[in-house]
Structure 1
Amino acid sequence: MQNIDYNRFLQVLRETKGIHNSLNEILKYDFIYHSNKIEGSTFTTEALQLLFEKNIVQGTHTLDDVQETVNSFYTFDLVIDEVDKKLTLDMIKEWHGSLMYRTKLYDMGLAGVFKKYSNKILGSNFNTANPWEVEDKLSDLIDSYNALQNVTIDDITRFHFEFECIHPFQDGNGRIGRFIYLKQLLDNRLALKYMNGESAKEYKKALGNCSKENIKPLFDYIENQKDFINENIDMF
């Protein structure tokens, strides 16, 4: 990462919330486009802009894809507002409730609620936590993370892998996991390299090839991604 004033970057990121073509908006569109595309969203960056700015849906999408995309804008704002605050269980549940607002999961009463039945991640070599284990395992993971003195990208990568292993919610785990990941990078003033929707298969393969003893596949994937800050250094 180039020699940058990270605190200045965060200041501009906060101050430009709601401003068209600003640093905040550019990051919002880019991050949401890539994170949602990993989950199968068919929104382009241009369609995201139309949806956010004019409430126009361009293209063919499921109702949940449209609603979750709209919700992603508000969830992104919650995440940025909570940069430099301690990560908590309630924070994560609030983000999930925001992301799933008015979706099928919301109608089932499961938005912001830990999963009620077991699920598995297809194509991976790990099983997810049982419903009765979720809260304790997630609390332990958060406590261990918060106890770290100098958080590195290795620590954040490991957290992301273990969060996805726990898979605490019935749906939306990938998106929430990546929102947490974004906050962790910003909290610790690390290079803003996040998962790319164009390489979703490689990202999922990297996750599936990891284990508690070896997170190198995911670490290597992340290291190969672009750094948003370096690419937009002229914005601040």
Structure 2
Amino acid sequence: MKGGLYHLTQVLMAYNTNRIEGSRLDQEQTRYIYETRTITGDGVPVDDVVETVNSFDLFDEMLGRVDEPVTAETMKDYHRILKRGTADARRQSFAVGDWKRQANVVGGQDTTPPEQVETAVQDLLARTPSQMSFEDIAAFHYHFESIHPFQDGNGRVGRVLMFQQCLRHGVMPFIVLEEKKAFYYRGLSRYEEEPGFLHGTFRSLQDDYYARFSRFVEILPGR
């Protein structure tokens, strides 16, 4: 339904999650791609458009799996959807839909070496409770981003996993907004010493998401 919760969430999620990673598309261009499958404006990088379209497909895939627990294969499938058809997908050193082959860094910090990614991911999944709280979801996201299992696209895969976990476990979902990127990165970088920074940012984003879309929430009698 045009203008409905699903439609608006698709545009807001795709715009912000890609913008955080350097996409040059603005929100109006993102909306236009979603609604018409065409693009406006000059000098738009092809990969920005491809990854935006892929982000719409990724969100749909996530909704189709919302009742399933996250697994290593879930992560790989999401990465494959996000990066298919991009310039990265044509690079031999870039493993689309598989763990990274070369070391990478995030925020100037080393991440898990490629040869240890599989073990680190399995350990993270083994430590994940069957019923996740808000704090569990935040912790999972921090550890996933610390592992940085893919060559590129970790943030976008991690954020869609987080949205899925919120829906699956009855936690108010949220979208990490590009305008809150500095707070988001601070929360990740300082999580070990003060998890409250990341929790506070996510709580604020929950409030923002609810404020935008509360008119779509059914109010049950007696609530």
Which SS does the other structure have where 1:75 is aligned?
Answer: helix
Unaligned runs of 5+ in 1: 1-18
Contact between 1:192 and 1:227, CA under 8 Å: does it hold in 2?
Answer: no
Question: CA separation in 2, counterparts of 1:230 and 1:142?
Answer: 32
How far residue 193 of structure 1 moved from its aligned partner, in angstroms, is 2.8
Question: CA separation in 1, counterparts of 2:213 and 2:12?
Answer: 12
Residue correspondence of structure 1 range 117-136 to structure 2 within 5 A: 117-123=102-108, 126-136=109-119
Greater RCO, CA 8 A, separation 6+: 1
Question: CA separation in 1, counterparts of 2:28 and 2:123?
Answer: 40
Residues 1:140 and 2:123 aligned together:
yes
Question: CA separation in 2, counterparts of 1:89 and 1:70?
Answer: 23
Question: CA separation in 1, counterparts of 2:130 and 2:100?
Answer: 31
How far residue 144 of structure 1 moved from its aligned partner, in angstroms, is 1.6
Residues 1:220 and 2:200 aligned together:
yes
Percent identity of paired positions between Structure 1 and Structure 2:
30
Residues 1:66 and 2:49 aligned together:
yes
Residues 1:24 and 2:6 aligned together:
yes
Residues 1:189 and 2:174 aligned together:
no
Residue correspondence of structure 1 range 63-102 to structure 2 within 5 A: 63-102=46-85
Which SS does the other structure have where 2:105 is aligned?
Answer: coil
Q: How many residues align?
A: 213
Name 2:18's counterpart in structure 1. 36
More divergent stretch after superposition (99-108 vs 56-65) = 56-65
Which SS does the other structure have where 1:66 is aligned?
Answer: helix
Which SS does the other structure have where 1:155 is aligned?
Answer: helix
Amino acid at match of 1:42: R
More divergent stretch after superposition (168-177 vs 49-58) = 49-58
**TM-score under structure 1 length normalisation:** 0.84
Contact between 1:33 and 1:43, CA under 8 Å: does it hold in 2?
Answer: yes
Contact between 2:19 and 2:25, CA under 8 Å: does it hold in 1?
Answer: yes
Question: CA separation in 2, counterparts of 1:195 and 1:48?
Answer: 16
Contact between 2:32 and 2:39, CA under 8 Å: does it hold in 1?
Answer: yes
Contact between 1:191 and 1:227, CA under 8 Å: does it hold in 2?
Answer: no
How far residue 227 of structure 1 moved from its aligned partner, in angstroms, is 4.3
Amino acid at match of 1:91: T
How far residue 140 of structure 1 moved from its aligned partner, in angstroms, is 1.3
CA RMSD of aligned residues (A): 1.7
Name 2:149's counterpart in structure 1. 168
Contact between 1:129 and 1:168, CA under 8 Å: does it hold in 2?
Answer: yes
Name 2:221's counterpart in structure 1. none
Name 1:4's counterpart in structure 2. none
